[in-house]
């Protein structure tokens, strides 16, 4: 969808709105809030930021997200650059924001201060479903009684499935109960350690990491191959463990699958509870979308949420990304999104799941494809050609819509569900060998998804 008629400043504001939803408050305030659109010509945007530090950070860390967000709004590829626009009256401390990975800052002696958890990553806002039920239960048990139930908790699973969210939820809950917590990524741990060694402040480093009640280490896989870090982490682990302090770890893989991880760490990681998070099922995805729609206080038609939940299947981060694009549009349009519009906005998201297909339309398309009438398909004729077309309609109705077998039978002239099942199986089996049939079915599917015009 082209949106060239929009005022570039409005586009940028919408992009900032969408970014705000994708980032922690602290990060947004630190990096994006003060960024201003300087010029926009054709598809090229130039954004002004207060200093070189922010510019480099945006370029190095946030560029893909910002670009993607902008493109989601304008509906086509854009070029995006950042430039420093000095504002001498507003001096800002050039320190990284809280809760960020500590960047290579070449020279700073300080350890990162003020660990701030993402305020959204709480148990209350975590939707429990089939893929994460175990992980959630274990995390909750630990947050309520750190150090006593399972130690360590080792949570693993693919990207965007809620590991960081759960880990931080443990942090929020334990903190609420008065425990001292520390949340870091394993990269931060490594960088802190390197800085401590360089500045001869390992005592302070140990003080920091070994005096907490709950140590939360995110993305431990990054310590693979780093011998010094593993050594230090092993001792940190043992000290905490011996003192009944809780250790929680996330990883993108099972400890056994981590190459170049010392065997003694592998066995420590398996000594408590080990659980995985798996991709969300449809119900979980829909529940997450409903919750997010409630957060942003924009009314989304149920069918739009259903559409997104069906389309984005693999991970929750992408689900949220897709949803945020719709939010940005809804804010601009100031009207509830139609499902067709949502489909258009999200059309570049793979895999392309067929848009909701109207069963009546499907029957029409099949009839026309075989030069028959709809009544032929619905009627009693047993002619070979008509029977085959009818079976194809049954097959496609079952594959392409969510209708039940009896409902399909009803639509095709009141046939019963065993007849529909029989027709469906006939086509399914025939498809295994009959390439002409494969071709026809594919063609009809394409017409249904409106990727090619119907043949007259």
Residues that bind ligand ADP (CB under 6 A): 120-121, 125-127, 132, 159-165, 288, 316-317, 320
Residue 168 Cβ vs Mg ion, minimum distance, rounded to whole Å = 9
Give least dist CB 276 to ligand ADP, A.
Answer: 11
Which one of ligand ADP, Mg ion, none interacts with residue 127, CB within 5 to 8 A by kind? ligand ADP
| Partners of residue 44 on adjacent β-strands | 41, 79
**208 Cβ contact list (under 8 Å, min separation 6):** 111, 182, 192
* Tokens linked to 238: 């043992």
Q: Which residue is nearest to ligand ADP (CB)?
A: 162
Query: Smallest distance from the beta carbon of 122 to Mg ion, in angstroms?
Result: 15
Encoded tokens for 255: 């400890």
User: At closest approach, how far in Å is the CB of 102 from ligand ADP?
Assistant: 18
**Residue 3 burial (C-beta neighbours within 10 Å; 0-12, 13-18, 19+):** middle
Q: Which residue lies nearer to Mg ion by CB, 16 or 163? A: 163
Cα distance between residue 233 and residue 3, in whole Å: 51
Cβ distance to Mg ion smaller for residue 27 or 440: 27
288 binds, among ligand ADP, Mg ion, none (CB under 5 to 8 A by kind): ligand ADP
Q: Which two tokens stand for residue 341?
A: 């519009």
Tell me if residue 165 falls in helix, strand or coil: helix
Q: How far is the CB of 201 from ligand ADP (least distance, A)?
A: 30
State yes or no: residue 188 binds Mg ion (CB under 5 A): no
x/- contact string, 141-170, with Mg ion (CB under 5 A)?
Answer: ----------------------xx------
Hey, which bits of 91-177 come out as E strands? 153-157
Q: Which is nearer to ligand ADP, 306 or 318 (CB)?
A: 318
Percent helix, percent strand, percent coil in the chain, to nearest 5: 55, 10, 35
Nearer Cβ to ligand ADP (37/322): 322
CA torsion, ordered 352, 356, 357, 359, to nearest 10 deg: 150
Q: What is the smallest separation between the CB atom of 163 and ligand ADP, expressed in angstroms?
A: 3
Residue number, 14 or 316, with CB nearest to ligand ADP: 316
Binding mask 272-301 for Mg ion (x = CB under 5 A): ------------------------------
Structure tokens at 305: 């949420």
Residue 165 partner contact from ligand ADP, Mg ion, none using kind-dependent CB cut-offs of 5 to 8 Å: ligand ADP
Give 103 or 158: the residue with its C-beta nearer to Mg ion.
Answer: 158
Give dist(CA 316, CA 380) in Å, integer: 48
The CB-nearest residue to Mg ion is 164
Pick the closer one to ligand ADP by CB: 66 or 363: 66
Burial class (CB in 10 A: 0-12, 13-18, 19+), 383: exposed
Q: Which long-range contacts (CB under 8 A, 24 or more apart) does 181-184 make?
A: 181/115, 181/212, 181/213, 181/214, 181/215, 181/216, 182/115, 182/208, 182/209, 182/212, 182/214, 182/215, 182/216, 183/99, 183/115, 183/117, 183/216, 183/218, 184/115, 184/216, 184/217, 184/218
Q: Count Cβ atoms below 10 Å from residue 453 Cβ, excluding itself.
A: 8
Reading the block at residue 94, the tokens are 């050039």
CB of 147 to ligand ADP, least distance (A): 23
For the bound state, the minimum distance from the C-beta of residue 399 to ligand ADP, rounded and expressed in Å, comes to 30
State the DSSP H helix or E strand holding residue 325, giving kind and residue range, or none if neither: helix 316-333
Q: Please work out the total of residues on this chain that contact Mg ion, with binding judged by CB under 5 A.
A: 2
Helices 282-296 and 316-333 cross at an angle (nearest 10°) of 40
- Nearer to ligand ADP by Cβ, of 136 and 391: the residue is 136
- For residue 36, the partner it binds in Mg ion, ligand ADP, none, with Cβ less than 5 to 8 A by kind, is none
Which C-beta is closer to Mg ion: that of 163 or that of 390?
163
Cβ pair 345, 329 in contact under 8 A: yes
**Quick check: 287 and 253 in contact, CB under 8 A?**
no
Name which of ligand ADP, Mg ion, none residue 395 binds, using a CB cut-off of 5 to 8 Å depending on partner kind.
none
Binds 161: which of ligand ADP, Mg ion, none (CB < 5-8 Å by kind): ligand ADP
Least distance between Mg ion and beta carbon 57 (Å): 19
Residue 252 or 344 having the CB closest to ligand ADP: 252
For the record, the structure tokens of 361 come out as: 């339309």
Smallest gap, in angstroms, from Cβ of residue 371 to ligand ADP? 50
409 makes contact, choosing from Mg ion, ligand ADP, none, with CB < 5 to 8 Å by partner type, with: none
Provide the binding-site residues for Mg ion, judged by CB under 5 A. 163-164
């Amino acid at each position: 969808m082209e949106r060239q008629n929009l005022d570039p400043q409005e586009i940028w504001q919408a992009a900032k709105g969408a970014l705000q939803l994708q980032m922690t408050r602290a990060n947004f305030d630190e990096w994006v809030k003060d960024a201003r659109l300087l010029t926009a010509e054709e598809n090229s945007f130039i954004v002004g930021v207060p200093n070189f530090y922010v510019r480099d950070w945006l370029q190095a860390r946030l560029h893909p997200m910002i670009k993607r967000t902008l493109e989601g709004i304008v509906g086509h590829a854009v070029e995006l650059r950042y430039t420093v626009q000095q504002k001498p009256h507003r001096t800002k401390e050039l320190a990284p924001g809280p809760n960020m990975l500590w960047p290579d800052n070449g020279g700073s002696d300080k350890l990162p201060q003020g660990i701030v958890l993402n305020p959204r990553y709480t148990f209350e806002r975590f939707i429990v479903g089939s893929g994460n039920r175990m992980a959630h239960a274990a995390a909750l048990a630990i947050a309520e009684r750190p150090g006593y139930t399972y130690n360590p908790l080792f949570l693993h699973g693919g990207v965007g499935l809620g590991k960081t969210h759960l880990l931080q939820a443990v942090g929020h809950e334990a903190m609420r109960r008065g425990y001292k917590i520390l949340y870091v990524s394993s990269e931060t741990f490594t960088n802190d350690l390197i800085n401590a060694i360089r500045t001869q402040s390992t005592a302070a480093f140990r003080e920091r990491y070994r005096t907490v009640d709950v140590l939360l280490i995110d993305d431990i896989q990054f310590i693979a191959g780093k011998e010094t870090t593993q050594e230090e982490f092993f001792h940190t682990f043992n000290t905490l463990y011996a003192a009944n302090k809780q250790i929680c770890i996330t990883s993108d893989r099972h400890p056994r699958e981590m190459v170049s991880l010392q065997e003694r760490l592998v066995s420590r990681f398996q000594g408590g509870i080990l659980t995985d998070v798996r991709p969300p099922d449809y119900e979980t995805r829909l529940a997450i979308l409903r919750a997010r729609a409630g957060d942003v206080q924009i009314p989304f038609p149920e069918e739009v949420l259903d559409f997104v939940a069906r389309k984005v299947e693999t991970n929750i981060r992408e689900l949220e990304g897709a949803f945020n694009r719709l939010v940005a549009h809804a804010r601009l349009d100031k009207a509830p999104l139609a499902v067709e519009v949502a489909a258009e906005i999200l059309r570049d998201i793979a895999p392309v799941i067929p848009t909701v297909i109207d069963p009546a339309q499907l029957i029409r398309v099949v009839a026309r494809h075989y030069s028959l009438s709809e009544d032929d398909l619905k009627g009693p004729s047993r002619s070979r050609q008509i029977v085959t077309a009818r079976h194809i309609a049954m097959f496609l109705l079952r594959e392409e819509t969510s209708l039940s077998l009896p409902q399909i039978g009803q639509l095709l002239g009141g046939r019963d569900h065993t007849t529909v099942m029989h027709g469906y199986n006939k086509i399914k089996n025939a498809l295994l060998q009959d390439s002409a049939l494969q071709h026809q079915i594919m063609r009809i599917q394409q017409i249904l998804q409106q990727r090619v015009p119907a043949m007259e």
